[in-house]
Amino acid sequence: MSKLNQPASEPKHDVFQAIADPTRRSLLQLLVDQEMPVNALSEHFPISRTAVSKHLRVLSEAGLVKERKVGRETRYRLDAEPLRELQRWLAYYERFWENKLGALKRYVEADAGGSSSAGEK
pLDDT in tens, 58-75: 999 999 999 999 999 999
Q: Are 74 and 38 in contact (CB under 8 A)?
A: yes
* Over residues 91-111, mean pLDDT: 85
Residues spanned by the domain of 41: 15-78
**116 pLDDT more than 90:** no
Q: Are 92 and 74 in a shared domain?
A: no
Residue type present at position 46: P
Q: How far is CA 6 from the centre of its chain?
A: 25
* Whether residue 50 has pLDDT greater than 80: yes
71 with 91, same domain? no
Asked, for residue 74, whether it belongs to a domain, the answer is yes
Residues 6+ apart with CB under 8 A from 89: 16
Same domain, yes or no: 73 and 86: no
Spell out a b/e string for 23-53, using b for 16 or more CB atoms within 10 Å of the CB, else e.
bbeebbebbeeeebebeebbeeeeeeeeebe
Number of domains in the chain: 2
CATH number at 66 reads 1.10.10.10
